[in-house]
Amino acid sequence: MKFIDTLLLAFRTVRSNRLRTGLTVTIIAFGIMALVGIITAIKAMNQKFTESFSSMGANGFTIRFKERNANFGNNRGSGLTVSKKGKKEKQSNLNKAITKEQAEYFVNNYHFPGAESGISIFGGGSNVLSFDQKKTNPNVSLLAGDEAYLNLNSFRILYGRNLTAAEISNGQNLCLLGFDVAKLFFGEAVDKGLNTKVRINNIPYTVLGILEPKGATFGFSRDNMAFIGYNNWSRNFGNPNASYIVAVKVNDIKQLDAAMGEAEILFRSIRKNSITEDSNFVLDKSDSTVQTLMNVLRFIRWAAIVIGVITLLGAAIGLMNIMLVAVSERTKEVGLVKALGGKKRSVKMQFLLEAMIISVLGALLGILLGIIIGNLFSLLLKTGFVVPWDWVIYGIVICTIVGLAAGIYPAVKAGKLNPIEALRYE
């Protein structure tokens, strides 16, 4: 019997047992669907991360405060702190947040070639803005910084202009509006908002500019915000315990490590850190958040692979059982094939092909469902259509191997049947 005849016979047999085939295909499809669906969703998340954080660039870093010591009991009033190593240390500038003066001193005295630095502080995410009779929900982010903030954080002005150094230094009530806020107040003609008066938490501000839209990340709009000068924030909303952030961007990414080293030396002197003291501030590269999130996604990906492998293992066992039942049910048929001159090799090949056909059908169905489910998630993230082509190929190969592995024993068993006994089998 030729291979094409064996293949066509295997297809007819699979098609004639629709219920059995459908159940087995469904089991395999669920395993592949879980695998491809999660991989597709992860690729969509990677794409969103790339879009969301590409504006931050890999050539920048921030300096922020991070408390490293913990206070216990009466030590709070004794002027001593207990470090993680259990040693008592004198309370010093180490345990205080980064002040506005320290941040300003750094910006004024950091002169690394080709580097730009700036000061910023987060003014909370539950602010209310109002204009005439219109009012936002209490979910507007208030960002405060200097004239370099927009460039350091890749914001661009759509209409109007940025705050000047003099305006920020004087702490004037001037602001820039994110696109969502401007659109809420002024409709499609957002440029009409220039030089108007809006209220930020009931304090009047003159609108100098409207920022270009940056889109949303995981449902959170990056345009639902307002920007003011950090001196103005300190005067109108300031918290004495707030810690300022210093951002630095270099022109050449190859100089990033050198720039960070020089920044750390300067800031240690500003914070009056002794040689034996650890820095009570951290330097974060702009891509560190992205790397952390990518690592989390990598763990999720491996979890998806484990889930898929376990499901496929169960499917392989089920497929083997079904093929063994098929051998028992078709014993007489196998005996007839052998009696008519069919070779042992042809019988084995037929059962192997049946198992592989069922597995590949399950793979195709699972891949289709996985891509659909994964892209439903990408719709929520507002990313493009994602197809994990590598895992499409892997899925077909894996299921082919599963079908081959599950069909070997039943095929060998069928091939060993004695044609005389098989014809007499009831």
Compute the distance between CA of residue 394 and CA of residue 71 in angstroms, rounded to an integer. Answer: 54
CB 189 within 8 A of CB 222: no
Compute the distance between CA of residue 249 and CA of residue 118 in angstroms, rounded to an integer. Answer: 9
Q: What is the pLDDT of residue 74?
A: 39
Q: What is the pLDDT of residue 70?
A: 38
**Strand blocks (E) in 5-94:** 60-65, 80-82, 88-90
| Tally of CB atoms within 10 A around 414 | 27
DSSP for residue 135: E
Q: What is the pLDDT of residue 214?
A: 83
Instruction: State how far the alpha carbon of 24 is from the alpha carbons of 27, 33, 312, 357, 405, in Å.
Output: 5, 14, 11, 11, 15
Strand 220-221 to 216-217 pairing? antiparallel
Tokens coding 213? 């839209």
Tokens 């345009």, located at residue: 223
DSSP for residue 59: S
Tokens 């098609």, located at residue: 15
Q: Which residues contact 72 (CB under 8 A, 6 or more apart)?
A: 82
CATH value of 58-121+243-285 in 3.40.50, 3.40.1350, 3.30.70, 3.40.630:
3.30.70
Q: What is the pLDDT of residue 225?
A: 94
pTM summary value: 0.56
SS3 content of the chain, % helix, strand, coil (to 5): 55, 15, 25
Q: What is the pLDDT of residue 101?
A: 93
Domain residue spans in the chain? 3-53+292-423, 58-121+243-285, 124-236
Q: What is the pLDDT of residue 81?
A: 40
Using 70 as the pLDDT threshold, list the residues of the chain that sit under it.
1-3, 5-7, 9-11, 13, 48-58, 67-95, 216-220, 286-294, 312, 315, 323-347, 351, 407, 409-426
Query: Which residues sit opposite 143 in a β-bridge?
Result: 122, 227
Q: What is the pLDDT of residue 219?
A: 54
Q: What is the pLDDT of residue 344?
A: 62
The per-residue pLDDT for range 178-208, each reduced to its tens digit, is: 999 999 999 988 999 999 999 999 999 999 9
Torsion (CA) 393, 395, 400, 405 in degrees, nearest 10 = 140
Q: What is the pLDDT of residue 208?
A: 95
Compute the distance between CA of residue 166 and CA of residue 188 in angstroms, rounded to an integer. Answer: 32
Q: Residue type for 386, please?
A: V
Q: What are phi and psi of 90, to 5 degrees?
A: -70, 140
